[in-house]
Amino acid sequence: MLYSVEGHYLLLIIIIVKCHVLYINGAWPISNSSSIQLLGLFQDEIGTVNGTKSSIHSRAMFKAAIILSQKYNIQMNGEYIDGQIAQTGGTSIGSLSNTCLILSKFNIVGIVGPALSRESHIIAQYGESIGIPIISYSATDPDLSNRYVYRNFYRTVPSDDSAALSIVHLFHRFNWTSCIIIYQNDQFGSGGVKAINNEFDKNNLTITNQIIFDITTLNIQGDLQDILTSSSTRIVILWTESIYIPRILHYALDENVLGPHFTWILSSTISFESFNRTSYSNLIGLLSIESVAGNTINAPINTTLLNEAYEIWQQYEPETFPGSINVDYYALFAFDATWTLIQSLQKNCFQYINHSSFCRPVINISFCYDRRFPKNNSLLNIIDTMEFIGVSGFIKFSKDTTDRIDGIYYLVKNVQSFVNAPNFVPILKWSHTDNWKEYSQDNVIVWPGNSLEVPNSYVGLSGVTVRICFIESKPFTMQSYSEENTTKFIGYIPDFVDNLKNKINFIPQIKLLPTNQTYYKSVQDVANGICDMLIGDVTITAKRREIVDFSTSVFDNSLRIVIRKTNSDNVDLFAYLKPFSPGLWLTILAGTVYAGFLLCFMERHENEALKNRSLISSLIMSLWYSVGTIMGYGVDFGVQTAAGRMLTVGLYTLSLILVASYTANLASYLTTLKQKEFISGLDDIKRKKIPSNRIGLVPGSSIEEFYLREISQGTPNYYPIKSSGDIANDLLNNHIDAAIWNTPFLEYMANQLYCNLTLIGPDFSKNTYGIAVPKYWIYKKELDVAILSLRESGILDDLKEKWFSGAACPQPSSYDASTTNLNIVAMSGLFVTFAVISVLSLILFAWTKRFRIKDLLWSLLHNKEHSINKQIDEEKFPNEIIVLKRQSTPRNSSYTTFF
């Protein structure tokens, strides 16, 4: 039972009190004498007689269907089907009370209507309680589709689920991704929003805001201008009944939130008679989307039935007939709903031709809840399986849903300018079997602002002043001072902003943040509304995303470790001996001596170079031959015997292998002599190879978050650096031994500014830089699209090449001479050895010439003493000396040389 006993008495009171029910039969030849009656429920404005366009047209087509059935001689138990009309006033209780009142007086076997979703819920339950079918022609709430809840309910108008699907297809066609919905606060509004939400979720579309229009107070809840202008989308769906649309559009005009800045999609077409001519330009570009009959999009319909219905309408109520092309679509749905009941009742009674009581409910019962339609399941089964071409298209139902499952069509109309006033022009058509297509090739869409370009669903940044905060960090953002004492920003970020500005035409208002401000505080400035954008070496992290949003990546980043370059003081004088082990050197020495002795034994008596020498001399010459051959450079004499030649082959073999092995091992050894730093990378820091307080980090940065998370387990035991610009000073002043920072900055610093710093180990913790913007920033999508466009066009790569390539510090080539070349330090021992051998050679030379050296020294000493004595004599006896010289001068003189 639908209501309790107390509820029955309350309804009886309401029925008695409600006396303004109108039976609008006019001149129509509909009688009350038949015991087979259909009830038509139509919404009219309360207190009016003529009613709305939809109600007038739907009521006329309901009557035309009944008269047409009589014309076709459709009877039940020998009686024609007649009809009753009732206004509902658009309220649930009005629908129920009027329905109950009519059923108390007439033998109602089916109901066409009601018009509204909020009425249909209660009438559908009432119909199930008394066993008669209910077919609505305009109630679209998706909740009414549940066959298990509403067993006796049907509808010829498509459900809002179909409307939502068509809207999704429309968004895909125009590449829209988001919208705002304004809806009325009843089942029609909430059901429509629910259906659109479900379809949007399936297709990754977004409803950014939902605004309620109160149909009781006729006001919008909230500040419409503030909500729309602060939203990221510029598409507005207005989901209300047609009677409310003009009022809402007037309000939007007053708040300046129609065209050209916003694109509105209406749930129904309207008349523009209530609008001033000054507002016409703002109405251009409006769209409407509504369900239509098949003839509108050239789908098959029963034109014979439709034309006859129009003839009947014109015959009995010509003053309301608007012409065939202006008939409201819901009127056609009302005719098909009525015709469905007429045909199903006829078929049902035909099954029980011998049981006439099965065709009508029990009569002469004054209380409307006590009526029952016998064999109602049979009637419902007939409706479930019924198929025919109606005046709105193909009519077909299902046992699983209350919805019409065929003949579903939608039409999009566009408001365009005409001579007298704007009007709707059909531009797109849709069916449940096909996507949106052009209605006519002659019709083009005129968008808000009289534009022919499809608007974006999101708001644009063009012409908007954007407060941009810079973080000074080389080479991303640097200050340059001109001769006029003006400051100019240079670097990767200023160039990037210039390209971004040219792309989307916003107005940048740049502010440089203090150098001692932490990165997290800078991000908070965005969250607090101080900055619209924070651009710099700002890493995207989960913690920061909790308070701000980030753009797509503007720079790929990672972390590295920087330290001071160190030089080793250890010099190995005998590094050239390292390629061979001591044991091998001794073996080579022994083999050389052995070969020398053996050669002396074999060659001494046969070889001219050895024959005339003493044994010791011959042995030394043989050793000389052995050493020279092994070293690969030969000697100044050759062997004479066959045995000597064979021995020489063995020496050549040793020379080939030993020289090649020595060369390879020496190169390998010298490569390993490359200077090694005291730490090799992040693993050494994790292993505490250097004290934690000797590791420098900038507090409040993403690097600090990484260190606390991955290395120190939350303990801030590092050395705090004021800013990234102080990293080099703290390293060079020996405040720290290592620092962790972003790779791009460290590479620039080590390559361009501080040649005595070096980066060690591979990079780690790869991440990206992004632009920090406020949460739900309305321009974020356009910003992301612009950044991706700059990346795809190669501009970001060009900026990276400009600011991060090149090096002022000397750079090792791919062939690192410092690690592979023989240097003077590594080979100093070899030269010392050569010097020692040279000295020994001189000593040996002197020893072999010792007697001649002795004679020379003696001669030089004797000549000096003679010269001194002669000088003394000349001073004492000068005259005597002259005479003696003349007498003693020989005629010929000879000189004796030393060698």
pLDDT at res. 770: 92
Does residue 15 sit in the same domain as residue 77?
Answer: yes
Does residue 266 sit in the same domain as residue 134?
Answer: no
Residue 682 domain-assigned (yes or no)? no
Question: Is 576 within 8 Å of 666 (Cβ atoms)?
Answer: yes
What's the rounded Cα separation, in Å, for the pair 67 and 63? 6
What's the rounded Cα separation, in Å, for the pair 368 and 132? 12
CA distances for 103 relative to 84, 111, 791, angstroms: 10, 10, 72
* Beta-bridge partners for 416: 423
Instruction: Give the residue carrying structure tokens 């704007």.
Output: 422
Range of the domain at 851: 830-885
pLDDT at res. 126: 93
Residue 320 domain-assigned (yes or no)? yes
Question: Is 164 within 8 Å of 190 (Cβ atoms)?
Answer: no
Does residue 172 sit in the same domain as residue 101?
Answer: no
What's the rounded Cα separation, in Å, for the pair 74 and 346? 7
Does residue 122 sit in the same domain as residue 32?
Answer: yes
Q: Which residues of 69-87 are buried (b: 16+ CB within 10 A; e: fewer)?
A: bbeeebebeebbbbbbbbb
CA distances for 68 relative to 13, 61, 86, 307, 348, angstroms: 38, 10, 20, 11, 19
Give the end-to-end CA distance of the chain in Å, rounded to a whole number.
149
Question: Is 380 within 8 Å of 151 (Cβ atoms)?
Answer: yes
Kindly report the length of the chain.
899
We report the CATH number of the domain holding residue 133 as 3.40.50.2300
Residues in the chain predicted with pLDDT less than 50, given as ranges, are: 1-25, 45-50, 364, 675, 813-824, 826-827, 830-831, 834, 838, 841, 891-899
Does residue 207 sit in the same domain as residue 261?
Answer: yes
Q: Which helix (H) or strand (E) holds 252?
A: helix 245-254
Nearest to 539 by CA among 520, 512, 513, 560: 520
Residue 136 domain-assigned (yes or no)? yes
Does residue 19 sit in the same domain as residue 150?
Answer: yes
* Amino acid at the residue 371: R
Structure letter (DSSP) for residue 47: T
Beta strands in 640-744 (DSSP E): 695-697, 719-720, 738-742
Does residue 363 sit in the same domain as residue 434?
Answer: no
What's the rounded Cα separation, in Å, for the pair 683 and 209? 50
- Count CB neighbours of 734 within 10 A: 9
Burial class (CB in 10 A: 0-12, 13-18, 19+), 821: exposed
Residue ending a domain, choose from 346, 370, 396:
396
What's the rounded Cα separation, in Å, for the pair 174 and 287? 13
pLDDT at res. 637: 80
Residue 797 domain-assigned (yes or no)? no
pLDDT tens digits, one per residue of 550-567: 999 998 888 888 888 775
* Amino acid at the residue 566: T
Residue 762 domain-assigned (yes or no)? no
Question: Is 175 within 8 Å of 455 (Cβ atoms)?
Answer: no
Does residue 83 sit in the same domain as residue 126?
Answer: yes
- Count CB neighbours of 201 within 10 A: 11
Does residue 36 sit in the same domain as residue 154?
Answer: yes
Residue 547 domain-assigned (yes or no)? no
| Dihedral sign for Cα atoms in the order 528, 531, 533, 536 | negative
Instruction: Give the residue carrying structure tokens 């020294």.
Output: 857
Residue 157 CA neighbour count, 13 Å, CB half: 29
Question: Is 870 within 8 Å of 880 (Cβ atoms)?
Answer: no
Is the previous residue joined to 762 through a cis bond, with omega within 30 degrees of 0?
Answer: no
Provide the domain count of the chain: 4
Residue ending a domain, choose from 672, 690, 712:
672
- Which pair of tokens denotes residue 281? 């330009």
Burial class (CB in 10 A: 0-12, 13-18, 19+), 222: exposed
Residue 135 domain-assigned (yes or no)? yes
Angle ∠(891,894,895) on CA atoms, nearest 5: 150
Does residue 429 sit in the same domain as residue 281?
Answer: yes
We report the CATH number of the domain holding residue 602 as 1.10.287.70
Q: At what angle do helices 53-71 and 329-351 cross, to 10 degrees?
A: 30
Question: Is 600 within 8 Å of 618 (Cβ atoms)?
Answer: yes
Residue 200 domain-assigned (yes or no)? yes
Does residue 122 sit in the same domain as residue 175?
Answer: no
| Dihedral sign for Cα atoms in the order 280, 284, 288, 294 | positive
pLDDT tens digits, one per residue of 256-315: 999 898 999 999 999 999 999 999 999 999 999 999 999 999 999 999 999 999 999 999
Does residue 21 sit in the same domain as residue 150?
Answer: yes
pLDDT at res. 829: 55
3-state secondary structure of 715: coil
Strand ranges across the sheet with 219-220 = 219-220, 206-214, 178-184, 235-239, 263-266, 287-291, 409-416, 423-431, 434-438
Residue ending a domain, choose from 637, 672, 707:
672
